[in-house]
Structure 1
Amino acid sequence: MKGRIAHYTQLPFEVPQNWSWTTLGKIGKWQSGSTPNRLNKDYYNGNIPWLKTGDLNDGYITHIPEYITEKALNETSVKLNPTGSVLIAMYGATIGKIGILTFPATTNQACCACEVFKGIDREFIFLFLLSHREEFIKMGGGGAQPNISKEKIINTYIPLPPFTEQQRIINAVNKIFAQLDTIMESL
């Protein structure tokens, strides 16, 4: 089975021989965030960035306006995500919004973070999530507050090329985005 892993069934398409099918759950460590109790004033206005999904910008995250304390990190289920983590909003008006952390940060429970494993380019995962936003929104259903779970995210299939091919794809996409930016600025 060229470019396939035998235990996966109903794959969307055939991939080149040196690529493989996997799931998002196998390319990194995924975890959702938490909101420390707002009534506990000792948990807020500290020095640890705390991202809400409204802070996601479909790019690199360079600023987060809200902070929590070490006490909140130590006493609640909040987790610190390392620099380079890829984030995706799981529900509400921001469902499918994404970002990449440029510094360690925590997130609220509406956000899922991926600490990408070695050999996987975080920008490749970012672009994959960006390209699949509509699919994630459809997965969320049509209720008052669409919702995609961490399980739906980590069970999503991804065609994974070798690392050098990931980088070639990233460079090609970024070149096209730069051209689009130039066109938009000239309008």
Structure 2
Amino acid sequence: MKWPVVPLGEIVDFYSGGTPSKANSDYWSGSVPWFSAKDMKRDVLVDSADHIADDVFTSTSIKRLPRGTVAMVVRGMILAHTIPISILDAECAINQDLKALIPRRDVVPAFLAAMLRAQHGEILSQVSTAAHGTRKLDSRVLENLKVPLPPLSEQRRIASILDHADALRAKRRQAIVYLDELSKSIFHHMFSMFEWQTRLDSIIAAGPTNGLYRPASDYGAGVPILRIDGFGSGAVLSDSYQWKRLRANEGEIEQYALAPGDLVVNRVNALSHLGKSALISDISEPSVYESNMMRIRIDTNRANGDFVLAWLQTRRAKQQILRKAKKAINQASINQADVKSLVLPLPPLELQCRFAERVEAVRVERAASERFSASADDLFYSLQSRAFRGEL
């Protein structure tokens, strides 16, 4: 069914936000949600990190927004890659980095938000750069954006279908979170009582060895190279991860080769990410690693790689790393001696291997959950696209 297509400016009222004076503490002593870009992390928001008083609406030009307002981030560096869109499910206010879209009587907020998300790529392409370098989305772009406008009953039907599909996505994502927590719980249950301490260098067969540095011009083709932005801490890496490629000679490939069972530990990063680590699993071609991480080969007669990787994610391990860190402006570092001197509990190898078997079972289940999650995402985006075209 083909529906009327109208400019967004004809079906919503636009309002810009603002920030009450920080010098007036009374403005910040209330309970009214005051949303900013840092809050825009969910499709529906009911509360914010910051709150303001009712007096703000009578003493300043800041407007109280009704429940059901659709908000978009229209200024900030996040617009370099995404346009956060949320429904504000409470009477509230917004700051100047957001734009409020108040639907008129013939528009359902959930339908409007879905139609905006369906045009995410188109909207993102209209983002410009302000004189001081930040990104911005001009109001005229939004006012002229074309959106379909079916009857109210159809809007509600479509919004309900998309809401159910999105709920399925959320359940799939939550299942992955539960499985990640399960691995941590297994480690804690099996090893929290072990008190004896061992230096990490006593279970290292080779390394730590810093990785390969090459200029950006050498990237793009060649052998796979593991970069620090290619994994999250605690990951087990295989061919399925997003490896970059680098031109390297045979000597470099041999010197900086990664092998199954190797651990990599980040040595230079922001303090919050310092020590990020991963375990190399199955890789089908010679691969290397970059200079801001170290490679460690574990003595498999004394320790299991899965056990050591899990220990590196614990609070005690991270506390040791932070104590040893050399801090500089915007980053921190650890060296090979720091890593070798880390102290960990070392239970019997048989128990470590039993832990590895359990974690592998969780890993298999997690991979299945990721596939289910990807399928749920595909279904949602397909439904969203069909709804925008009037085919749902």
TM-score range, shorter chain: 0.7 to 0.9
CA contact (8 A) 1:84 1:103 kept: yes
What residue identity is the alignment partner of 1:68? I
Whole-Å separation in 2 of the counterparts to 1:116 and 1:94: 25
Q: 1:133 to 1:58 in 2, by over 3 A?
A: farther
Secondary structure of the structure 2 residue equivalent to 1:100: strand
The match for 1:7 is none
Is 163-172 or 73-82 further displaced after alignment? 163-172
What residue identity is the alignment partner of 2:71? L
The yes-or-no answer on 1:46 pairing with 2:35 is no
The yes-or-no answer on 1:169 pairing with 2:158 is yes
Which of the pair has more CA radius of gyration? Answer: 2
- Kindly report the root-mean-square deviation, in angstroms, between the aligned alpha carbons of the 2 structures: 2.0
What residue identity is the alignment partner of 1:126? A
Ranked by relative contact order (alpha carbons within 8 Å, sequence separation 6 or more), the top structure is: 1
Whole-Å separation in 2 of the counterparts to 1:20 and 1:88: 24
The match for 1:147 is 136
The yes-or-no answer on 1:87 pairing with 2:71 is yes
How much has 1:42 moved relative to structure 2? Answer: 3.0
The match for 1:59 is 43
What residue identity is the alignment partner of 2:148? P
Whole-Å separation in 2 of the counterparts to 1:183 and 1:48: 33
CA contact (8 A) 1:87 1:113 kept: yes
How much has 1:182 moved relative to structure 2? Answer: 4.7
CA contact (8 A) 1:31 1:150 kept: no
Secondary structure of the structure 2 residue equivalent to 1:82: coil
CA contact (8 A) 1:51 1:105 kept: yes
Q: Between Structure 1 and Structure 2, which shows a larger proportion of helix residues?
A: 2
Whole-Å separation in 2 of the counterparts to 1:69 and 1:182: 36
Gaps of 5+ in 2: 176-368, 371-392
How much has 1:154 moved relative to structure 2? Answer: 1.8
What residue identity is the alignment partner of 2:144? N
The match for 2:93 is 106
How much has 1:89 moved relative to structure 2? Answer: 0.7
Is 36-45 or 176-185 further displaced after alignment? 176-185
The percentage of counterpart residues that share the same residue type is 25
The yes-or-no answer on 1:124 pairing with 2:111 is yes
CA offsets 1:107-150 (integer angstroms, 9 cap, x no match):
00111112211121110101112222232222112563110122
Q: 1:126 to 1:40 in 2, by over 3 A?
A: same
Whole-Å separation in 1 of the counterparts to 2:76 and 2:145: 20
**TM-score normalised by the chain length of structure 1:** 0.81
CA contact (8 A) 2:47 2:90 kept: no
Aligned positions, number: 171
Secondary structure of the structure 2 residue equivalent to 1:114: strand
Gaps of 5+ in 1: 1-14
Secondary structure of the structure 2 residue equivalent to 1:49: strand
Q: 1:20 to 1:92 in 2, by over 3 A?
A: same
CA contact (8 A) 1:91 1:140 kept: no
How much has 1:162 moved relative to structure 2? Answer: 1.6
**TM-score normalised by the chain length of structure 2:** 0.41
